[in-house]
């Protein structure tokens, strides 16, 4: 393997002092923290928009009053604010962050810029799980149907990732093989969902099609709480692995020789993100592209130091989904379009620009 | 070399400075005995300085959030020292994906030495370097090996470098050790004919440095 040093890239005489490098590095770190803060600020604005826009046409004063004194306003207004607007807006942020983090870690551990919960079959498996519950009309007494669907979707989604891990582990497969297997899973589960659709009754079919569109309207406080709790549990472990993941980006063999236990880092990371993305997808349905695009935005903005890249991906994902949620409300007045549709439309230009940029580089 | 470094399973026992490597955890083992793969560090979007800091932090966990540990002065200093050693401090703030192959190879070497191992196993560490840097790197490796009493093992294809800059060479051919010993006694015309299938002479230059002169193939 020889990559010649091109002429003209000979190092100039080293005149940079350590103090200058330190200062430059501090400036870089400060810039990254500023960018993270800006992303956070943008999310705040987007959540406020998401919260204040909607078919009911409530004024900001009414919204604030309902938030602060829920017992003094009419029931309809209270329900709109407390049961719809607020949980939807927050769920968009949580799901976006979960998918962003999942995509970021998957792209690192599989060394593939196209890895995401969507492209590795997590979403498709969740859809299959949901279709089982919907089409077979499963009921468990005492459990609301929406929870049964979510639970089924979750189990299938997590199961598919374990299948992915098993293949990688048993066959000592290379990461590209694992990604290929993930894509095979996507097609398999899509075929199975089609089969279920073919067998479904008209009502179940309608419900299933709507489920696969991905919508924040399935949000409820308990679901939001559960997702937030899992996120709070998982995210610290992700951040703790930041250095190992950064080193892994420089090459699997190199990371191993520098003391990273690559199989362990990979397994734990996959476990974390499979739980997180599976839960997010099973609550809101298929939301594509966020998990794929958010890491690329974070990488461009912040570089691949995972101390910044991971939180950056979460924030970018949260911002995209929150903005999609806003768009879904204002695109057609009086109608809330399923968010999954909007996200895909917003995501495709990003996706194309990344693919085209990579071709330029090679 | 991977087996010695503990990266692939092996039943052999390896002792380094009296310590049995094969009984250590992978973390301890890689801290003492460092294998540098032939593949160059990937061109990721990461400043060189951070690539070096990361290489030293792998055994520990990152502190909770970016804010803490960001100004880890020791880590930055060690990274800078290692870059200076290889004469590339001016690359510190450049992104890895802007570097040439040779520059990335130097960064990889700097990563390895910044971890201060007791043994270095380098798989073709000169493959992407120009002539100037090949000799510069060999010089640095010799100095560091002497200064810190390291065991340094290199896989080389360049016989002239092997002849002049190593203490001992081992010739591997089709999985077998053919010869082992001081370079001048091992690298003979007979061996070059048998292993490398060339008709060659080993000659001495005016300053006593030896070089292989190839007349043709056999």
Residue A125: the pLDDT is 92
- Domain around A343: 287-355
One domain, residues B200 and B96: no
One domain, residues B49 and B17: yes
One domain, residues B143 and B192: no
One domain, residues B34 and B99: yes
Predicted confidence (pLDDT) per residue in B116-126, tens digit = 888 889 988 88
From B106, B132, B155, the end of a domain falls on B155
Cross-chain Cβ contact B50/A250 below 8 Å: no
Dist. CA B178–CA B176, nearest whole Å: 6
Mean pLDDT of chain B: 83
Nearest CA in chain B to A108: B44
Residue B184: the pLDDT is 84
pLDDT over 50 at B132, yes or no: yes
Candidate from A2, A260, A311 with C-beta closest to B58: A260
CA dihedral B9, B10, B11, B17 (to 10 degrees): -110
The total number of structural domains in chain A stands at: 1
One domain, residues B36 and B125: yes
Interface test with chain B among A30, A250, A256, A313, by most B beta carbons within 10 Å: A250
Instruction: Confirm whether A8 is domain-assigned.
Output: no
Rounded to a whole number, what is the distance in Å from the CA of A312 to chain B's nearest CA? 11
One domain, residues B176 and B132: no
Burial class (CB in 10 A: 0-12, 13-18, 19+), A239: buried
- Domain around B170: 162-218
Which DSSP symbol is given to A289? S
Nearest CA in chain B to A240: B62
A6 contacts in chain B (CB < 8 Å): 100
Instruction: Confirm whether A94 is domain-assigned.
Output: no
Global ipTM = 0.84
Instruction: Confirm whether A336 is domain-assigned.
Output: yes
Instruction: Confirm whether A98 is domain-assigned.
Output: no
Name the one residue in this structure whose structure tokens are 């191993």: A256
Residue A5: the pLDDT is 47
Instruction: Confirm whether A341 is domain-assigned.
Output: yes
Cross-chain Cβ contact B41/A251 below 8 Å: yes
Angle at which helix A122-135 crosses helix A262-284, to 10 degrees, equals 40
One domain, residues B47 and B132: yes
pLDDT over 80 at B67, yes or no: no
Residue A245: the pLDDT is 92
pLDDT in tens, chain A (362 residues): 444 545 445 545 556 788 888 888 888 888 999 999 999 999 999 999 988 887 777 788 888 888 888 888 888 888 888 888 899 999 999 999 999 999 999 999 998 888 899 888 898 999 999 898 888 877 777 778 788 888 989 999 999 988 888 887 776 778 888 888 999 999 999 999 999 989 888 888 888 888 888 888 888 899 999 999 999 999 999 988 888 899 999 888 888 888 888 888 988 999 999 899 999 998 998 888 889 889 988 988 888 999 899 999 999 999 999 989 988 888 887 777 888 888 877 766 766 665 566 544 43
From B103, B130, B155, the end of a domain falls on B155
Interface test with chain A among B66, B79, B119, B132, by most A beta carbons within 10 Å: B66
One domain, residues B203 and B140: no
Counting one residue from A and one from B, how many pairs have CB atoms under 8 Å apart?
172
Q: Could you tell me the CATH number of the domain that includes residue B150?
A: 3.40.50.300
The total number of structural domains in chain B stands at: 2
3-state SS, one letter per residue, for chain B: CHHHHCCCCCCCCCEECCEEHHHCCHHHHHHHEEEECCCCCCCCCCEHHHHHHHHHHCCCCCCCCCCCCCCCHHHHHHHHHHHHHCCCHHHCCCEHHHCCHHHHHHHHHHHHHHCCCCEEEEECCCCCCCHHHHHHHHHHHHHHHHHCCCEEEEECCCHHHHHHHCCCEEEEECCEEEEEECHHHHCCHHHHHHHHCEEEEEEECCCCCEEEEEEEEC
Rounded to a whole number, what is the distance in Å from the CA of B185 to chain A's nearest CA? 29
Helices (H), chain A: 18-52, 60-68, 75-78, 86-109, 122-135, 145-170, 175-199, 202-212, 221-240, 242-249, 252-257, 262-284, 290-302, 306-330, 339-361
Q: Which residues pair with B47 in a beta bridge?
A: B95
Rounded to a whole number, what is the distance in Å from the CA of B79 to chain A's nearest CA? 10
One domain, residues B93 and B119: yes
One domain, residues B14 and B40: yes
Instruction: Confirm whether A187 is domain-assigned.
Output: no
A311 contacts in chain B (CB < 8 Å): 65-66
Rounded average pLDDT over B154-166:
87
One domain, residues B93 and B35: yes
Instruction: Confirm whether A344 is domain-assigned.
Output: yes
Candidate from B27, B42, B95 with C-beta closest to A259: B27
Name the one residue in this structure whose structure tokens are 């949580």: A94
Residue A362: the pLDDT is 35
Rounded to a whole number, what is the distance in Å from the CA of A14 to chain B's nearest CA? 6
Rounded to a whole number, what is the distance in Å from the CA of A119 to chain B's nearest CA? 22
From B133, B155, B177, the end of a domain falls on B155
B146: CB partners within 8 A, 6+ apart: none
Cross-chain Cβ contact A3/B128 below 8 Å: yes
One domain, residues B18 and B61: yes
Of A223, A2, A261, nearest in space to A94 by CA: A223
């Amino acid at each position: 393997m020889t990559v010649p040093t091109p002429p003209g890239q000979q190092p100039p005489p080293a005149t940079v002092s350590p103090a200058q490098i330190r200062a430059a590095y501090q400036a870089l770190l400060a810039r990254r923290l500023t960018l993270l803060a800006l992303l956070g600020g943008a999310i705040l604005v987007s959540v406020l928009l998401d919260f204040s826009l909607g078919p009911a046409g409530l004024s900001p004063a009414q919204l604030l009053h309902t938030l602060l004194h829920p017992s003094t306003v009419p029931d309809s207004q209270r329900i709109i604010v407390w049961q719809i607007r607020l949980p939807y807006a927050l769920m968009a942020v949580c799901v976006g962050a979960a998918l962003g983090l999942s995509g970021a870690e998957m792209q690192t551990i599989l060394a593939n810029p196209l890895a995401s919960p969507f492209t590795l079959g997590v979403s498709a498996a969740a859809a299959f799980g949901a279709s089982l519950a919907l089409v077979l009309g499963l009921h468990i007494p005492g459990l609301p149907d929406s929870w049964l669907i979510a639970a089924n979707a979750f189990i299938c989604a997590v199961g598919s990732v374990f299948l992915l891990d098993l293949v990688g582990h048993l066959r000592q497969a290379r990461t590209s093989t694992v990604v290929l297997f993930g894509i095979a899973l996507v097609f398999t589960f899509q075929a199975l969902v089609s089969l279920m659709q073919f067998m479904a009754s008209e009502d179940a079919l309608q419900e299933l099609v709507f489920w696969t569109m991905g919508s924040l309207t399935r949000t409820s406080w308990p679901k939001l709480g559960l997702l937030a709790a899992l996120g709070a549990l998982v995210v610290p472990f992700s951040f703790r692995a930041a250095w190992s993941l950064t080193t892994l980006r420089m090459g699997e063999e190199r990371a191993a020789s520098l003391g990273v236990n690559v199989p362990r880092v990979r397994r734990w990371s996959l476990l974390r993100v499979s739980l997180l993305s599976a839960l997010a997808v099973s609550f809101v349905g298929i939301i594509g592209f966020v998990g794929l695009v958010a890491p690329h935005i974070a990488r461009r903005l912040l570089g691949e130091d995972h101390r910044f890249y991971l939180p950056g991906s979460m924030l970018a994902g949260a911002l995209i989904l929150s903005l999609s949620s806003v768009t879904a409300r204002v695109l057609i007045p009086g109608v809330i379009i399923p968010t999954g549709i909007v996200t895909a439309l917003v995501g495709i230009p990003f996706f194309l620009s990344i693919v085209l940029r990579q071709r330029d580089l090679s | 070399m991977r087996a010695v470094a503990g990266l692939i399973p092996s039943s052999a026992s390896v002792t380094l400075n009296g310590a049995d490597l094969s009984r250590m955890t992978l973390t301890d083992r890689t801290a003492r005995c460092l294998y540098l793969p032939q593949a160059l560090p990937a061109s990721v979007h990461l400043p060189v300085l951070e690539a070096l800091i990361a290489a030293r932090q792998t055994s520990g966990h990152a502190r909770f959030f970016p804010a803490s540990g960001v100004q880890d002065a020791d880590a930055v200093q060690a990274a800078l020292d290692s870059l200076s050693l290889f004469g590339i401090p001016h690359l510190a703030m450049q992104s890895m994906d802007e570097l040439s192959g040779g520059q990335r190879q130097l960064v990889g070497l700097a990563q390895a030495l910044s971890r201060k191992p007791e043994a270095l196993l380098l798989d073709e560490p000169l493959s992407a370097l120009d002539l100037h840097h090949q000799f510069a790197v060999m010089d640095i490796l010799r100095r560091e090996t002497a200064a810190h009493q390291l065991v340094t093992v290199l896989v080389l294809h360049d016989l002239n470098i092997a002849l002049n800059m190593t203490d001992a060479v081992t010739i591997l051919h089709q999985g077998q050790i053919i010869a082992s010993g001081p370079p001048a006694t091992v690298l003979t015309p007979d061996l070059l004919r048998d292993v490398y299938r060339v008709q060659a002479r080993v000659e001495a230059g005016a300053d006593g440095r030896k070089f292989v002169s190839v007349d043709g193939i056999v």
